[in-house]
């Protein structure tokens, strides 16, 4: 079927309307934020300042510039955190090792059918419906990579896995994203034709947990190779540490990067036929939580009130009462707060 230009435009509008109608407020906010960030990253500082001044005034410009520039530079720690028991303990920064051994391992010793089965299962899991589920999903995928690759998952600051290259431990940081590589063709967002060998921008470091700048992150070596996975196109590429750090650039809340041909090695993982797990992860998590909460509580030193004795299968706990929880201050949801700030043009004093 071949559509005319007018029919194609209408087709696109209909599809976009369908997507928007199915989004909740949080997802819509996230999408709009990403689109606006991509748009304003093409502006110069002067253009953005002029726009903010025209719409909101000089005071907001001053506040935003101050919040962007007043970022303390943290000292670089030379102390390595001790890994969990059973994980190789790196007492010094190791040599890079033989990259060809790592590449050969990823290409021939990893069951990518099962890895991407875990990916597809978690992303199609009906129980994972909010951003809060992303942690469980990413943890499951990382553990799946470890289980089906014999890489050691350590989940340390700055790297996720260790590969034992004949006694030389290679640290690997993993990044993953759906639709990471462009499909080629013209991009209206970028205003140019894209290549199937380049990626969109993706986050590599967060400014929220570490008070550092992009320049700080460029100086800190925490891994030897970055393994980047396109979860949609089934592509796995390796980027050397020095190359990756040189590509860091500023994002809204962290360091971002994008890859182009020549900056990475693409592993030949063959054709992938995903093998799904036999259970649904969200159901297992909910069952575990229900089982965890299914216990009986009897305060120590208090007389029995005639409560029935719990079944043998239910844990019978005797311990001191927990102190009452400290009441928490109520905050409105982020969307309502943002709308209110835009309308009233003021910033809350925390």
The per-residue pLDDT for 324 is 52
Question: Residues 171, 224: contact at Cβ < 8 Å?
Answer: yes
Q: Which CATH class is domain 99-266?
A: alpha beta
Domain ranges of the chain: 5-69, 99-266
Please give the structure tokens belonging to residue 101.
Answer: 């051994």
Q: What letters, b where the CB count within 10 A reaches 16 and e where it falls short, cover 157-194? A: eebbbbbebeeebbbbbbbbbeebbbeeeeeeeeeeeb
Query: Tens digits of per-residue pLDDT, 30-60?
Result: 777 777 887 787 778 888 888 888 888 888 8
Cα separations (Å) of 97 from 4, 8, 163, 172?
A: 56, 52, 10, 12
CB atoms within 10 A of CB 75: 7
The per-residue pLDDT for 198 is 95
The per-residue pLDDT for 258 is 94
The per-residue pLDDT for 345 is 47
Question: Residues 122, 284: contact at Cβ < 8 Å?
Answer: no
The per-residue pLDDT for 139 is 94
Block means of pLDDT (10 residues each) for the chain, 350 residues, are 80 80 74 78 82 84 72 39 47 55 94 97 92 91 95 91 91 95 87 92 77 82 95 95 93 88 94 95 93 71 54 54 49 47 46
DSSP reduced 3-state for 274: coil
pTM of the model: 0.59
Closest Cα to residue 159, out of 93, 62, 248, 243?
Answer: 93
Interatomic CA distance for residues 227 and 268, integer angstroms = 13
Interatomic CA distance for residues 41 and 250, integer angstroms = 9
- List beta partners, residue 256: 203, 249
């Amino acid at each position: 079927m071949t559509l005319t230009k007018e029919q194609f435009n209408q087709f696109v509008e209909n599809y976009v309307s369908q997507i928007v109608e199915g989004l909740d407020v949080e997802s819509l906010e996230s999408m709009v934020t990403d689109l606006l960030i991509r748009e304003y990253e093409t502006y110069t500082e002067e253009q953005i300042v002029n726009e903010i001044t025209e719409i909101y005034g000089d005071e907001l410009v001053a506040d935003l510039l101050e919040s962007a520039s007043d970022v303390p530079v943290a000292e670089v720690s030379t102390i390595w955190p001790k890994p969990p028991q059973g994980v190789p303990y790196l007492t010094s920064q190791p040599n890079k090792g033989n990259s060809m051994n790592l590449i050969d391992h990823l290409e021939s010793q990893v069951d990518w059918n099962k890895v991407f089965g875990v990916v597809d299962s978690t992303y199609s899991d009906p129980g994972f419906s909010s951003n809060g589920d992303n942690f469980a999903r990413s943890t499951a995928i990382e553990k799946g990579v470890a289980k089906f690759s014999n890489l050691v998952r350590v989940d340390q600051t700055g790297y996720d896995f260790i590969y034992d290259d004949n006694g030389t431990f290679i640290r690997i940081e993993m990044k993953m994203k759906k639709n990471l590589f462009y499909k080629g063709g013209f991009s209206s967002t970028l205003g140019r034709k894209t290549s199937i060998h380049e990626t969109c921008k993706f986050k590599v470091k967060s400014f929220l947990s570490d008070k550092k700048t992009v320049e700080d992150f460029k100086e800190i070596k925490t891994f030897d190779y970055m393994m980047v996975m396109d979860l949609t196109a089934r592509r796995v590429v390796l980027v050397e540490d020095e190359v990756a750090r040189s590509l860091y650039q500023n994002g809204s809340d962290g360091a971002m990067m994008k890859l182009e041909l020549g900056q990475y090695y693409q592993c030949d993982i063959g054709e992938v036929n995903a093998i799904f797990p036999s259970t649904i992860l969200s159901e297992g998590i909910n069952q575990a939580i229900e089982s965890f909460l299914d216990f009986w509580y009897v305060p120590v030193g208090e007389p029995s009130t005639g409560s029935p004795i719990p079944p043998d299968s239910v844990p019978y706990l005797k311990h001191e009462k927990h102190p009452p929880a400290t009441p928490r201050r109520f905050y409105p949801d982020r969307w309502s707060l943002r709308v209110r700030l835009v309308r009233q043009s003021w910033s809350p004093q925390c």
